[in-house]
Amino acid sequence: MEELLSHYANVKEELKSRLKQFKDLSEEAQFKEFLFCLLTPQSNAQRCWQAVEEISRLPEIEEQAVYNILKTKTRFHITKTQRILKAYENWHKIKPFLENENIKELRNKIAQTVNGYGLKESGHFLRNIGLSNNQIAILDRHILRNLHNLKVIKDPKIKSPKNYLEIEDIFLNFSKSINIPADELDLLWWSKENGEIFK
């Protein structure tokens, strides 16, 4: 725990700066984050972002072109190609939801609406556009692993949506107990494992 708090003290301002950048995104940049979070499940985050950048440069979103990009960048590229093709339609569905200030309700609604988004991906998207406000968790492997290593949770695996919400509450309470905001703690653990503050 001392190591965690020491590392936080060293990168605290950088974390806050990164989170502020998320809040200041244009709508075009928000849409790129929406695509990014469709691609990240069980795939390398940096390579997924490379794929988003390449897709964004396409003159038109055509199935074969998207497939050719994803097959070298992500796992499950056939399924994810279809999700990218539907992303523009889904974006127009969820844009009105983003006015909802009840963050958990907003996250849950997005998860129910977008094929390819569960609770984790919806939370990831909201964090990456600056709307999570430390009220939800992105229970990715790095968070589960760190919670387990610190003996905050017994099992680093999520068994159901109900279990996700239970562990989310544990994570949020833990972040308060050590006085590190949840959004910052997520980025802190990710950067500690991967060497950079990314997304």
Catalytic residue numbers read 120, 140
**Burial label, 105 (beta-carbon count in 10 A; 0-12, 13-18, 19+):** exposed
Side chain identity, residue 94:
I
Cα separation, 38 vs 114, in Å, equals: 9
Q: Which helix (H) or strand (E) holds 175?
A: helix 161-177
Taking alpha carbons only, the member of 97, 100, 88 closest to residue 135 is 100
Task: Using alpha carbons, list the distances in angstroms from residue 1 to 7, 141, 151, 178.
Answer: 10, 19, 11, 9
Cα separation, 67 vs 170, in Å, equals: 39
Q: Which residues contact 112 (CB under 8 A, 6 or more apart)?
A: none
Taking alpha carbons only, the member of 172, 88, 178 closest to residue 138 is 172
Extract the tokens encoding 78. Answer: 């056939």
Please tell me what DSSP assigns to residue 134: T
